[in-house]
Amino acid sequence: MDMSLPDLDRLKLASTQTKKTVSILGSTGSIGCNTLDLVSRDRDAYGIKALTAHKNVAKLAQQAIEFNAEMAVIADATLYSDLKSALLDTDIKVAAGEQALNEAADMPAEWVMSSIVGAAGLKPTLTAVRRGATIALANKECLVCAGDFMMDQVREYGATMLPVDSEHNAIFQIFDFDHPETVEKITLTASGGPFWNRDVADMTMITPEQAVNHPNWSMGAKISVDSATLMNKGLELIEAYYLFPVRKDQLDIIIHPQSIIHSMVSYMDGSVLAQLGTPDMRTPISYALAWPNRMSTPSKKLDLTEIGTLDFSKPDEARFPSLNITREVLQNGGSAPTILNASNEVAVYAFLEGKIGFLDIAKIVEETLDKISFHNMTSLSDVHDVDDNARRVSSELITGIMN
Ligand code: NAD
Ligand code: MG
């Protein structure tokens, strides 16, 4: 270092050199906003490259200005001129459309938060993987729909995948990666969502408003519905299979309504390691953001005496068919998880739009899986073909229910 520099300048230089560059795919959502909340608490540590959103121009523009982003991308191409005008007096690069999402992911950020919801996040996440970035993965759907392919690409391009989903982040913190043979099983905890103890007879009338009202977590609409059907836990079972070196029969699920234990790893000697904390996504996001270090967060600190009791029970697979469906899908592998994910996305949005009932979601997924035969997939275009076909079949089934 040049010793002739005044101390202050030297410090400034050191801080710009160590700034971690960050892009957030899906910055206007629940995970995206929580990530920016953490960044806002230590502006000197992070520099924002790209931010992206689907349709929310106002929020995206506000974030891009506030965090001095280099690029802002709106996925809905019809909103390009709105975003352009909102950022007129800035030098922030503006782009729109699906291809522009890939451009955002291709910006040279060391750390990329993948927090677009659904399979729409697959391509931009892959783009970031292919330049060897560190990916903080919230978008579980991209692993469910293309897990083998995605993890092959992570290995091929030397990318780093850090799980953000609270359960997988917990496992990441407690799994002995040096001795995976000592692991007996992974147990994912599930809050059970708002209806875990409700009679099946009362479940037919569940409204979208009730389903998105999660007792412990504040999240986007799609994952909230997935939590209510327990499909979220099924998707997480598949996600865990791709993220950790375990066999399919080493993955277990337990209902834990307080969401304090975020998951557990059982070892061959009888030890069970768990990660605990109050339910606040800023804790797992911060772990990925600061990794391999830790950072302080504003999450409420855990006081077990205040909580008093932690409850556990077996999930009721009769009332929540999603769990059996996903177990079978995981067993089948190949194109089955891609069909499951696409079909579930279509069914959840149909439910949110009031086109089908709550219990129809799992039925649509099950019937879609019954109607399409599974095969091995070798390329990304295979993934897209299977995804498109499953969406078409599910949409037809939904039309059938509506008529
Ligand atoms: P959200 O709906 O709040 O936000 C989704 C983000 O993706 C928004 O920025 C939206 O603009 C963008 N987006 C939506 N559709 C898009 C499209 N077609 N093209 C481009 N961008 C699009 O969702 P969320 O709750 O933040 O969840 C994001 C992801 O993280 C999901 O995969 C979810 O399963 C996962 N996750 C969320 C939580 C949570 O607490 N919210 C926890 C664990 C995992
Ligand atoms: Mg989760």
Average pLDDT of the residues in 348-357:
97
Measured by CA distance, the residue closest to atom 22 of ligand 1 is 54
DSSP state of 313: B
Ligand of minimum distance to the alpha carbon of 280: 1
Res 13 pLDDT > 80: no
Residue 196's pLDDT band (cuts 50, 70, 90): confident
Indicate if ligand 1 lies below 6 Å from the C-beta of 28: yes
Tell me how far the alpha carbon of residue 53 lies from the centroid of ligand 1, in angstroms. 9
pTM recorded for the entire structure: 0.95
Asked if 53 and 27 touch (Cβ cutoff 8 Å), the reply is: yes
Measured by CA distance, the residue closest to atom 25 of ligand 1 is 220
Spacing of C-alpha 111 from chain mean position: 15
Ligand of minimum distance to the alpha carbon of 216: 1
Res 3 pLDDT > 50: no
Measured by CA distance, the residue closest to atom 31 of ligand 1 is 117
Looking at residue 286, its amino acid is S
Q: Locate the ligand 1 atom nearest the alpha carbon of residue 32 and give its number.
A: 26
Measured by CA distance, the residue closest to atom 40 of ligand 1 is 219
What is the tens place of the pLDDT at every residue in 84-103?
999 999 999 999 999 999 99
Indicate if ligand 1 lies below 6 Å from the C-beta of 124: no
Radius of gyration from C-alpha coordinates of the chain: 22
Q: In Å, how far are 130, 141, 153 from 147, measured between CA atoms?
A: 15, 9, 10
Scan for tokens 């782009």, then name that residue.
95
Q: Helices 282-290 and 30-40: crossing angle, nearest 10°?
A: 60
C-alpha span between 30 and 55 (Å, rounded): 14
The DSSP bridge pattern shows strands 46-53 and 20-25 to be: parallel
C-alpha span between 106 and 46 (Å, rounded): 18
Asked if 191 and 315 touch (Cβ cutoff 8 Å), the reply is: no
Indicate if ligand 1 lies below 6 Å from the C-beta of 255: no
C-alpha span between 142 and 341 (Å, rounded): 9
Among residues of the chain, what percentage have pLDDT more than 70? 96
Q: Report the DSSP beta bridge partners of residue 188.
A: 253, 263
Res 329 pLDDT > 80: yes
Res 6 pLDDT > 70: no
Encoded tokens for 294: 């830790």
Average pLDDT of the residues in 369-385:
95
Res 402 pLDDT > 60: yes
Measured by CA distance, the residue closest to atom 2 of ligand 1 is 220
Indicate if ligand 1 lies below 6 Å from the C-beta of 117: yes
Nearest CA to 368 out of 380, 348, 353 is that of 348
Nearest CA to 369 out of 349, 389, 399 is that of 389
What is the tens place of the pLDDT at every residue in 118-152?
999 999 999 999 999 999 999 999 999 999 999 99
Looking at residue 266, what is its pLDDT? 99
Res 2 pLDDT > 90: no
Indicate if ligand 1 lies below 6 Å from the C-beta of 342: no
Measured by CA distance, the residue closest to atom 4 of ligand 1 is 29
User: Order of strands, edge to edge, in the sheet holding 20-25?
Assistant: 93-96, 71-74, 46-53, 20-25, 111-114, 134-137, 160-163
Residue 386's pLDDT band (cuts 50, 70, 90): very high
In this structure, the number of other CB atoms found within 10 A of the CB of residue 84 comes to 16
In this structure, the number of other CB atoms found within 10 A of the CB of residue 279 comes to 19
Looking at residue 135, its amino acid is I
Tell me how far the alpha carbon of residue 279 lies from the centroid of ligand 2, in angstroms. 10
Encoded tokens for 203: 């479940």
